[in-house]
A and B are shown apart, each in its own frame.
Chain A
Amino acid sequence: MNMELSRRGFLAGAGAGLAGTTLGAFGFGDVEAAHAAAIRPFKLANTAEARNTCTYCSVACGIIIYSKGDLKKGEKAEIVNIEGDADHPTNRGTLCPKGAALRDVVHAKTRTLHPQIRKAGSDKFERVSWDQALDRIARLMKDDRDQNIVLKNNDGVTVNRWTTTGFLAASATTNETAWATYKVVRSTGMVAFDNQARV
């Protein structure tokens, strides 16, 4: 954290200072106490905060995620609020109509919750375990690779090119995920490899 007073900290401090001095100086001590007692506790007071970045566009606005439960303490955390980060140099706390509704996409009813497989010709998905899904994927990949990878071209040049399975990578995953993905995909010799940058 910046050693200077952060923009967000400054705003909070300014409010408290006003209550402590102006009202007190005018002799409104009792009123202040009664007023303070009537104020509902700040809803986010007992939440954990995490600094994050809006998932949508590449302006990359800073956001703060508030959760019940603290991941850092190993607890289960439920996100209850997401707002703009006032300390962020680009967005300075503001969010657009997409960013302001981020919580809704986190809690969308149409999030995928468990692995499932739709068999050939079927009209429905069937729930499977992670192991079943991943074993199946590895099997399908290996069989296709062993059958179709081109080891040498007609001139005898080693090409190790696998053209019959492709991979379309995301563009909202982290750089670190991208690197892990790159390593795994490239090591197989897959060449139909692309990402959202093109569209």
Chain B
Amino acid sequence: MKYLLLIITIILLVACVEHPSNVTKVGIQPKIYPDYIGVTIPSEIAPMNFSLEEENVECIEVTVKGVNGGEIHTNGEWADFDIEDWHNLTRQNIGATLKFSVVAKIEGKWKQYDTFEMYVSERPMSDYGVTYRRIAPGFETFSNIGIYQRCLANFEEYAILESRAVDGGCMNCHYSNRGNPDQFSLHIRGKHGCTILRNEDGDKYVDTKTKETVGSCTYGYWHPGGRYCAYSLNRIYQNFYVGPDKIIEPWDAVSDIAVLDTKTNELIMSSATSTKDFETTPAFSADGKTLYFCKAQYRDMPAGYDKVCYSLCSITFDEEHGRMGDSVSVIIDVEKIKKSLSLPRPSFDGRWLMYCLSDYGTTPLNRMESDLYIMDIQTGETRLMDEVNSREADAYHNWSSGANGWFLFGSKREDHIYSLLYFACVDETGHSTKPFLMPQRNPKKYYRDNLHSFNAPDFTAKKVELDVIQTRARVMSESREQVKVKH
């Protein structure tokens, strides 16, 4: 019996390991999934595991050599690198190139491909990981959704809060202050709806609906000082398209901008940002003195859905007195080019502002033509990020908390429906490296089986700690601090 067990164990151990023999050189680079050829990576990133795109691959053997030294191997159904070995190699080759040599057994024959490279950036990605909401793609409702965090140095994913924990309440985006999870905002909708606010005073469960405002706090962005958080107050509806090319169009019936003082639970309003026009998606500048937001001329909705075009605007913000300015400056007027600007995101070093443009509306990921643009805040020059964009929707970008040029964004380039996460790095000239898909242990299987969109992603400097039991108790208790408008 014991010999039988030994034999079975040996068979299982060696079953997936084959060594190349009679190798033929094919003279081309392999087609790999995800397409990691020529990408630039931070040294801290998890192993860039990949498969060959071909379906009938029996085994692949990959050797990675660093120009500055070091070498790792993997052999199996897909390239699955050891995490520790990988990090030793990347750390040894910061600022240098990794050369990947791939030999694959396809239909019984071993083929050797030309080597391809990845470049290990000198810029560190100092974040612990990313946060995102995983949700079935935009079909108006939800079932089992949650806010998750993923460590970028390995493949571990943790739930921050799932809807099941709060009796099916839908969850909105998780907004932290420049990636700092000690200050975040998380909105829960439904019967036990509330906004969870965390700052240095602890967690608060607030009700942001007031009689004087058009809606509850929706899209948020923290002031760098940590006391204030800007929100758009939206009343959102959505309709389906008739034709098959586009599916659903969310739109605002009304929307304003306000800043919440998290110390006093007061909403700071301004007549300049609470007009009949549509104001949405605020974002503070790196120094906190300017509040960017998008503004579109009022239209009768939903009839005018395809004529709502948002411009990039700004208003001053006085942190000391907790006050917005009286006048709005238009930074990019898109009415003239009949495009709609969304999601302004200033880099934390104050140098760049990334945004996206689509034909109309305020939800760029629903718009196939949505592309990322970058503006030099100092010169006002702006450019289409050709090197990053795809034919499908690209949007929901955010900067790494380390102000090191790394950014992430969501893109539907894989399949037109499910938004996945990509990373890239902007250099001193505002040009970006080739984006790469978030690594997974077995990316081909993971993304093939995935039926969720990675929604509203952001970096997190460290792991988000949220006591789910306590959170559930407080959400279900319905004891809320009421937000009021500051007069």
Is A bound to B? no
User: B: which residues have CB within 8 A of A?
Assistant: none
